[in-house]
Structure 1
Amino acid sequence: MITNNPLEPTWCVTTSMRIRRRFCGPFFKKIVTKTLMDIDRQAVNAVIRRFYEATGEAYLHWLQEGEAFVMSEQRQQDTQATE
């Protein structure tokens, strides 16, 4: 989430995952990389939590899906906090 507060630091997180394709041997790997830029501390915590709690397939799907999970989870937390 991009913050409007210039005093709050923003982060850049790069995450990747290697998947070995079955029946193709060790040289046929699929590498998925995602870089999330200018996110705040809560979004970084969400990425780390997702990394440790999700299965490999779920994390791969999230990487391919993009930044939507971090942004949508942050928006949900913001709306719950204001209610």
Structure 2
Amino acid sequence: MPALQRRAAALVQDCGTLVVDLDGCGSAGLAAADLLARLALTARRHGGRVRLRSVPEELGALLGALGLADVLGVSPPGPGTPRGR
């Protein structure tokens, strides 16, 4: 298991939910979606879940198209919060 997945598993075991803040995320392609899906799978295997915050508009659309938005718990932006860059 790669180091990031080990760290995610440890955090999920401690608190149950892994919140990933993507503010400033530069890459919003398939590699990012794959990484987030793997984190979600790791969290589920350890009895937790992943919740995403500040998801760039492009990445949110990609996750939705792939059917991963609900699985990853994509949080909508708060009132007055700009989406994307």
Question: Which TM-score band (shorter chain)?
Answer: under 0.3
| Structure that is richer in strand per residue | 1
TM-score with structure 2 setting the length: 0.26
TM-score with structure 1 setting the length: 0.26
- Bigger radius of gyration: 1
